[in-house]
Amino acid sequence: MTEPVRGTRISVDVNGEIHERDVEARRLLVHFLRDDLDLTGTHVGCDTGNCGACTVIVDGVAVKSCMMLAVQADGASVETVEGLAGNGELHPLQQAFSSFHALQCGYCTPGMLMSAKHLLDNNPEPTEGEIRRAIQGNICRCTGYVNIVEAIAATARGEVSG
């Protein structure tokens, strides 16, 4: 794609499944996930890169999908909240969020879970400070974060099973 194009066909691995779609160059990754693939677990919160509700993991790296173009995900592997549960069982982080009351309205939860998964993938035994720093880019206006931090810490300690 060395000459400018208005749109192109992209192929993206989302939660282990390859999706091919024609997308406009202006399409944001979050809209590709929600509107083209109907994966509405990834939320649009602030749409200005502050709140983190749209956090997904692209090639192993946590990013805010409202600040990345869908065409930039061509050939990439994307993990969204829909990929966490498997075989009808919640992911341990999801179970912990439920057990520890780590959500109220739930709007920030998909992004919070993906940031937490990214943390534990890279640092299986985080300190409380490391947990708080890892979710710094995810805003929750309900919980006050205490139960979210406890849920992530309990998951890291293996105290929660999915």
Binds other proteins by CB under 8 A, chosen from 22, 61, 89, 101: 61
Residues whose CB falls within 8 Å of the CB of residue 53, separated by 6 or more in sequence, listed in order: 42, 43, 44, 45, 46, 107, 108, 110, 111, 138, 139
- Say whether residue 83 binds other proteins (CB under 8 A): no
Within 100-159, which residues bind other proteins (CB under 8 A)? 115, 118, 133-134, 136-138
Q: Judged by CB under 8 A, does residue 1 bind other proteins?
A: yes
CB 21 within 8 A of CB 33: no
For residue 52, which amino acid is it? G
Place of tokens 């066909």: 9
In the complex with other proteins, which residue's Cβ is closer, 35 or 159? 35
Q: Tell me: does residue 73 bind other proteins (CB under 8 A).
A: no
Token digits for 85?
Answer: 């549960």
Interface with other proteins includes 9 (CB under 8 A)? no
Mutual orientation of helices 146-156 and 109-122 as an angle, nearest 10°? 40
Interaxial angle between packed helices 146-156 and 92-99, expressed in degrees from 0 to 180 and rounded to the nearest 10: 140
Rounded least distance, CB 78 to other proteins, Å = 14
Site map (CB under 8 A) of other proteins, residues 14-43, x = contact: ----------xxxxx--x------------
Give the span between the Cα atoms of 36 and 34, in whole angstroms.
Answer: 6
Binding of residue 4 to other proteins (CB under 8 A): yes
How many residues contact other proteins, by CB under 8 A? 35
Q: Which of 53, 68, 84, 154 binds other proteins (CB under 8 A)?
A: 68
69 binds other proteins (CB under 8 A): yes
Structure tokens belonging to residue 54: 């749209």
Helices 109-122, 92-99: inter-axial angle, 10-degree rounding: 130
Which residues here bind other proteins, judged by CB under 8 A?
1-6, 8, 24-28, 31, 47-49, 52, 55, 61-64, 66-69, 71-72, 115, 118, 133-134, 136-138
